Amino acid sequence: MGRNEERRHRNDPGPLPGVPLKLTSGVGEHRGADGVLRRYLDPGATLFRAPTARRAVNTFVRERAGDLGTEGTDLREVAKEEHTSTLHVRYQQYHQDVPILGATLQMVADTGQAAVVQVENATEPDVSDAPDVTEAQAPDVVEKAALAPFQKGYESAAVVRDTLGYLRDTSRPPLPAADRPTASVALLKTGKRRPDGKLHLVHDLVVETSGPFEHFRVVVDAVGGNLLWIETAGRYVTATLNVYLPDPVTDSGLGTLSSLSTNDELKALAHEVQTDVSPADGNGKFHLAGPMCRCVDWDESGFAQPESASPPRFVFESHRANLGFLSANAYYWVDSFANYLKKLGNPQLNERMVAVDVDPQGAPTIDRSEWIGTTDPPRMRFDMKHVPGAADLGIIVHEYTHGVIQWLRPGATAPLEYEHSICDVMAGIYRDLFNREGHRRTETFPFDNNAQEAWSQDRRLDLTQRFDDPDFDTFPPDRRTSMLASALWQCYLGMGGASKNQPVRQKAADKLIKVLLAMVPRLAADTPKSKDNAVHLANICIAADTEVHGGLHKNVMRGAFVRQGLLPKPNIDVFIADSDRDTGEEPSGEGDPFWTSPDIWVRNELEGDDPDAGHQEPIMNQVNYLYVRVRNRGTDEAPAGSFTVETRRCDPGTGMTWPGSFKPISEKMTIQQPIPAGGSVRVGPFPWTPTIAGHECLIAVAHGADDPAVTATSGDPIPHDKLVRFDNNVGQRNVYPKPSILGGQTKFPMKLNGGPAATDGAWELDATAMPPDTQITIRTLSRIIKPSTLTNIEATEAGDVRTTLQMKGGDSALVEGFRLDANDEVSADVTIDFSHEAVHMKAYDLVTTQLQDHEVAGRLTIEITAVKDLSEWFFGNRNTHEVHIQTCPYWDQISDHSKEPYPRIELALAHGYNGCAYCLPQHNTG
């Protein structure tokens, strides 16, 4: 497909001009109570376009300044980042050369479409109540007010950072239910507890304390010199976990393990691993230090970090035997997780990640681990109370993810309300990659929150409570956190995380974590409404999938958020069934055949025909008529003219990609009648003249602004099986039922296709449905057979270019270990010498499955219908290219292998056969 064709299929706005693609419920413009445009979301990139993405941003900011409330304001560009497919620009508002804290305008543009796709506007349109900057108190007055609350309960306190800015006083940080280990509730209540809504000139300070160590954000009114509020700058998790590989409970499945477990119980669950550390110091000693982290004793525990002579070994039986085990465990998992994130290729994160100082034995009396991002370098400390935090992968990844969020939101002034949800699901997904037996997958912290010392019944990834529950406002923070984390976990499962195949789960993890990393910079500051914050995160998560994956998983994600009560069920949800059992859920069943859509069918005639009379096999070299049934599982009727249907075909094979492997059948058709809720409409006919004998793969796509198809939003090639399974707007039907007489022979050409990138491949051939006296012969390129391992299939003839393979009916064969380059094509000729014992008119399948990097890339079914009663059939002679009937005088001279049966004479003639001059003279052309 040419470049123009690809661009035509990207971000197709649908039949109605000026209507954005509703990839998520948040699409469109959202204004505040003051009438200011506060949020703009158009992930389909259909509305505000320009010649370049940069020009689109500039034009939007200029032309819509009135709507944004930025006319006459001092708005300065402070950051510009180009990602793979998006441009991010952040503006900071100033007043009298001083920044207004939190008053930012964030713009996101699709670079491929040169269109603005997201705007988050937190600017201050009215600064008339701002005090003059000259009224600010002297710095020593402000510092005195900031340090006064720390005179008691701390050994020392000092200001380590001071920012002068304006701040609209609209909210206060939430207070904890009980004293924290490093901060009492009384301390955090200090200051002016009721916000007055005014624009204050403030000093936004970071105060560092010792005895105990902590970082606090302290906000002081710069004019009056009075304290407004205090909050902890460190980011906590209310859990203490334990991790080995990945942790003792997950590894063993034993719910009896706890902080009381002995060294004898735990040492069997410790595994030796290898990783990199920095070179030895001047004394020849190695330390647990590297480019991503180092273990140091910076907190109050006083435990000297382990060191090793050459060769470096940090091997301890368990943390119960030696606390040095915690250092090795923390270093390994921080280093592993950080390097994993770097390989995902998020440019903003990779640019800002820095090495972290880790104290694995910190705070011996505190039951909280912590990320502290206000130090240089950032710090992590893990508690020692109950199960040590540094013994648990979940705690380590959770805390490190706080740092990831901080690196991705450099202009943020406060953590997100649902930040722990992101941290929890990141920890759960990463832990799942090492969960070999699938133990306790949905327990966020299985060892720390163990049965003996459980500290929360809510901190899980399988909560079913909904955000639209009438009692939602009474839910504790842990429950709300885990409800959103559970929805994100469902996204992971739907992307492939539910598979029993570890490589498939790995790809699902990569896909969702890439989305989360792209989502975080686009999140706006929290509002006072908890549910609104969660809904915003869900909408931006779907928009980020459009940025990263072209919207391939938008329906899977939307479904997860709908089930959790975050988003409403779509009013209009059209679909084309993938199989008789398909109800429109996404993805459709992994084990179900997605290439048998009952909603796509062919008829051979138009005049006088009943289009609903069922599928007919297409006749070559004459016009056939394709029909598509489009269903609506939504609650509202889809208006007439609001959806189109597009039909395409491709040559037989597996591993095809959209759109390059598919060619249009006929012009796109607008659905002229409404699609009733819970009902369906028939669309067509689409005229089609097939020219290739044998298998055809037919694709139909329903698309409209109210329910956009992935094909309209993705500019990247999409594996066709994922397109069909992940988007219920897309259906597929393969047409190739092949009749065969008993003992007859069927030949079938096909292709194995390479994906968008080079992959390691395997080819499964499942003939278990074939009678055992059937023989299957495959002739294909030697370059994929020579490096492969063959199971239940034998190479009978091997040449430099092509190799012949044979297998028997009743077996399942595997060719594994070859490599296909990007966009590679490997042809294969399949010959089936059919059984003499088959049952008349019974269908027998040969299912071929191609795998790329252990993941299914496509399936193709060759269906053979046994023909025993020959009286009403027509038979082509492959040698003479004539068609006969059983009463022909030359019938006995035709071998069974040469006879190709057809139920209708038209099909035989369409396949190039000429009528026999003796038994079918009326169809003989000489």
Q: What is the mean pLDDT of residues 268-289?
A: 83
**Mean pLDDT of the residues in the chain:** 87
Q: Predicted confidence band at 140 (pLDDT cuts at 50, 70, 90)?
A: confident
pLDDT above 80 (res 574) = yes
Q: What is the mean pLDDT of residues 819-847?
A: 84
Report the distance separating Cα 879 and Cα 916, nearest Å: 13
81 C-beta neighbours (distance < 10 Å), count: 14
Domains 574-730 and 738-867 share a fold: yes
pLDDT above 70 (res 693) = no
pLDDT score for 7: 34
Q: What is the DSSP letter of 845?
A: E
Report the distance separating Cα 12 and Cα 21, nearest Å: 8
Match 């072209």 to its residue by tokens: 550
Q: What is the mean pLDDT of residues 267-288?
A: 83
pLDDT above 80 (res 84) = no
pLDDT score for 295: 92
> Class for domain 738-867, per CATH?
mainly beta
Q: What is the pLDDT of residues 731-754, one digit of tens each?
A: 988 766 555 566 667 777 888 888
pLDDT score for 587: 82
Report the distance separating Cα 597 and Cα 139, nearest Å: 73
pLDDT score for 737: 53
Burial 856-892 (b: 16+ CB within 10 A, else e): bbbbbbbbbbbbeebeebbbbbbeeebbbbeebeeee
Of 662, 671, 732, 664, give the one whose Cα is nearest residue 704. 671
pLDDT score for 843: 75
Query: CA 341, 342, 347, 349 torsion: positive or negative?
Result: positive
pLDDT score for 236: 52
Q: What is the pLDDT of residues 405-462, one digit of tens each?
A: 999 998 887 889 999 999 999 999 999 999 989 999 999 999 887 888 887 889 999 9
The answer to whether residues 696 and 735 touch, using CB atoms and an 8 Å cutoff, is yes
pLDDT score for 606: 85
Of 215, 232, 235, 228, give the one whose Cα is nearest residue 101. 228
Report the distance separating Cα 552 and Cα 109, nearest Å: 19
- What are the strands, taking DSSP E only, across 754-793? 759-766, 775-781, 789-791
pLDDT above 60 (res 757) = yes
Domain ranges, ordered by start, for the chain = 28-121, 133-234, 239-562, 574-730, 738-867, 874-923
Q: Predicted confidence band at 1 (pLDDT cuts at 50, 70, 90)?
A: very low
Choice among 135-139, 512-516, 663-667, 734-738 with the minimum mean pLDDT: 734-738
Report the distance separating Cα 574 and Cα 680, nearest Å: 9
Task: Report the DSSP beta bridge partners of residue 220.
Answer: 203, 227
DSSP-derived 3-state class of residue 897: helix
Q: What is the DSSP letter of 443?
A: B
Of 913, 912, 909, 866, give the one whose Cα is nearest residue 894. 913
Report the distance separating Cα 456 and Cα 494, nearest Å: 27
Cα 740–chain centre separation: 44
**39, two tokens:** 């949020």
Residue 756 to residues 661, 824, 856, Cα–Cα distance (Å)? 12, 9, 14
Amino acid at 631: R
pLDDT score for 4: 36
* Residue 832 CB partners (closer than 8 Å, separation 6+): 740, 745, 746, 747, 748, 770, 774, 775, 776, 777, 846, 862, 864
The enclosing H or E element of 855 equals strand 855-867
Residue 141 to residues 136, 221, 758, Cα–Cα distance (Å)? 10, 11, 65
Helices marked H in 550-610 — which ranges?
554-563
Report the distance separating Cα 253 and Cα 875, nearest Å: 62
Cis peptide before 415 (omega within 30 of 0): no
Of 274, 293, 96, give the one whose Cα is nearest residue 199. 96
pLDDT above 90 (res 209) = no
340 C-beta neighbours (distance < 10 Å), count: 15
Better pLDDT: 164 or 697: 164
* Residue 684 CB partners (closer than 8 Å, separation 6+): 611, 625, 626, 627, 628, 645, 669
Q: What is the mean pLDDT of residues 754-773?
A: 89
Q: Predicted confidence band at 44 (pLDDT cuts at 50, 70, 90)?
A: confident
**228, two tokens:** 């407004």
DSSP-derived 3-state class of residue 509: helix
Q: What is the DSSP letter of 641?
A: T
Q: Predicted confidence band at 637 (pLDDT cuts at 50, 70, 90)?
A: very high
Q: What is the mean pLDDT of residues 146-154?
A: 92
- What are the strands, taking DSSP E only, across 639-724? 644-650, 657-658, 663-664, 669-670, 680-688, 696-703, 718-719
Architecture of the domain delimited by 28-121: Roll (3.10)
CATH number of 239-562: 3.10.170.10
pLDDT above 60 (res 6) = no
Cis peptide before 377 (omega within 30 of 0): yes
Better pLDDT: 284 or 474: 474
Q: What is the pLDDT of residues 321-366, one digit of tens each?
A: 999 999 999 999 999 999 999 999 899 999 999 999 999 998 777 7
pLDDT score for 80: 92
Report the distance separating Cα 325 and Cα 387, nearest Å: 13
Report the distance separating Cα 736 and Cα 376, nearest Å: 66
What CATH number matches the domain at 133-234, 3.10.450, 3.30.1460, 3.30.160, 1.10.3910? Answer: 3.10.450
Q: What is the pLDDT of residues 869-916, one digit of tens each?
A: 577 788 889 889 999 988 898 888 888 878 888 878 887 887 788 999
pLDDT score for 75: 96
Report the distance separating Cα 322 and Cα 327, nearest Å: 10
pLDDT score for 813: 95
> Class for domain 574-730, per CATH?
mainly beta
Better pLDDT: 679 or 1: 679
CA dihedral 339, 340, 342, 344 (to 10 degrees): 170
pLDDT above 60 (res 822) = yes
* Residue 704 CB partners (closer than 8 Å, separation 6+): 14, 15, 16, 572, 574, 638, 642, 643, 644
Q: Predicted confidence band at 464 (pLDDT cuts at 50, 70, 90)?
A: very high
Burial 101-113 (b: 16+ CB within 10 A, else e): bbbbbbbbbbbbb
The answer to whether residues 88 and 79 touch, using CB atoms and an 8 Å cutoff, is yes
Report the distance separating Cα 174 and Cα 179, nearest Å: 13
Q: Predicted confidence band at 241 (pLDDT cuts at 50, 70, 90)?
A: very low
Report the distance separating Cα 42 and Cα 323, nearest Å: 52
pLDDT above 70 (res 9) = no
Q: What is the DSSP string of 315-377?
A: --S-TTT-THHHHHHHHHHHHHHHHHHHHTT-HHHHHH---EEEETT--TT-S-EEEE-SSSS
Q: Predicted confidence band at 3 (pLDDT cuts at 50, 70, 90)?
A: very low
Q: What is the mean pLDDT of residues 196-218?
A: 90
Q: What is the DSSP string of 453-500?
A: S---SS-BS-----TT-TTGGGS-HHHHHHHHHHHHHHHHIIIIIT-S
Residue 197 burial by Cβ neighbours in a 10 Å radius (0-12, 13-18, 19+) = exposed
The answer to whether residues 65 and 81 touch, using CB atoms and an 8 Å cutoff, is no
Residue 23 to residues 1, 222, 699, 887, Cα–Cα distance (Å)? 25, 45, 21, 61
Report the distance separating Cα 785 and Cα 792, nearest Å: 14
Q: Predicted confidence band at 695 (pLDDT cuts at 50, 70, 90)?
A: low
Cis peptide before 51 (omega within 30 of 0): no
Q: What is the pLDDT of residues 12-41, one digit of tens each?
A: 566 666 677 777 778 889 999 999 999 999
Q: Predicted confidence band at 193 (pLDDT cuts at 50, 70, 90)?
A: confident
Task: Go through the chain and tell me how many residues it has.
Answer: 926
pLDDT above 60 (res 11) = no
Choice among 427-441, 584-598, 635-649, 846-860 with the minimum mean pLDDT: 584-598
CA dihedral 122, 126, 130, 134 (to 10 degrees): 90
The answer to whether residues 906 and 619 touch, using CB atoms and an 8 Å cutoff, is yes
Taking the alpha carbons at both ends of the chain, their separation in whole angstroms is 41
pLDDT score for 740: 55
Task: Report the DSSP beta bridge partners of residue 915.
Answer: 883
